[in-house]
Structure 1
Amino acid sequence: MGYLSIRQTSEKWNVSARWINDLCSRGRIPGAMKIGSYWAIPEDAEKPRDARLKTGKYIKDAIVRKEF
């Protein structure tokens, strides 16, 4: 199994290198490991689903509205 750098992975998945770094730091890419100050990402790793809210509204606001 080979490994890719953050830059190679960002080109493969068409997202920014900063976003890949954030995903690695949060443990969202299985098998990614830090070697010194660099991340090694398995070349067969799948792109994680985007967990950000798409609606533009916060969950907390939705819960408050339902309670009242």
Structure 2
Amino acid sequence: MKYLSVTETAERWGISTRRIQILCNEDRIPGAIRIGRTWAIPDDEPKPADARIKSGKYIKTSTENKK
């Protein structure tokens, strides 16, 4: 299996290197491994779907009483 660096994967997927690092830290890229301080991403891995909130509406998780 061939692995790509964060920079190579960012160019291939068209997103920033920082976003790739965040996806790796959140375990959203299966098969990504950490070698020292850098990530190695399998070359056949597809780009994960964007799970960030796009509507601008955040769901409140705490149960505070409004007065």
TM-score (norm 2): 0.87
Residues of 1 paired with 2:54 and 2:38: CA distance? 31
User: Is 1:24 aligned to 2:13, yes or no?
Assistant: no
How much identity, in percent, do the aligned residues show?
Answer: 56
Distance in 1, matches of 2:49 and 2:42, equals: 17
Q: What is the 5 A alignment of 1:1-68?
A: 1-60=1-60
Match of 1:41, SS state, is strand
| AA aligned opposite 2:7 | R
Give every structure 1 segment of 4 or more consecutive aligned residues whose post-TM-superposition deviation is greater than 3 Å: none
Question: Where is the helix percentage greater, Structure 1 or Structure 2?
Answer: 1
TM-superposed CA distance for 1:59, in Å, is 1.8
Structure 2, unaligned runs of 5 or more: none
**Alignment size in residue pairs:** 62
